[in-house]
Structure 1
Amino acid sequence: MRANGVANWDASAYKTFSFTHNENVNLQFRAESLNLFNRVQFGYPGLQQGSSNFGIVSSQLNNPRQLQFSLRLNY
């Protein structure tokens, strides 16, 4: 049996803010998205011939969309 390939897109964006009185200190805001388009990767179908779930896909292998925000202070 074959299964579909992985179609998982991750993305991130960040912005760095510098403080004018001290150039060695800056603050970075980050936004990250895992599984950006929220695509499902189905699990493998049941492989045991003669069982009640033979050929039935009943699981998901990847996680749903996850968003993550963070602040990073560099000094």
Structure 2
Amino acid sequence: MHSVYTVRYICEEYPSGNRYYYKQELITHDSWDNPDSLAWSHPRPISKRTYCKRKKGGYRTEHRFVNKAPAQIIHFPFQLP
């Protein structure tokens, strides 16, 4: 279990209204005494319930708005074998 200082919870919101929740932990590659070896882990998906619970509990949270262009649809001709 990580402390309030070594974990962060992220909510990513897209223009479509979809929201995705993630958790990142602070990890070290050498020693906690070496600040150059500290990095955030890969975001791991969590539930909305967990995000809201941790936000109430005083953990570090971030709310990000992601403005990506929608995917381009490429049509392929349909052929029967």
TM-score by length of 1: 0.29
Higher helix share: 2
Larger radius of gyration between Structure 1 and Structure 2: 1
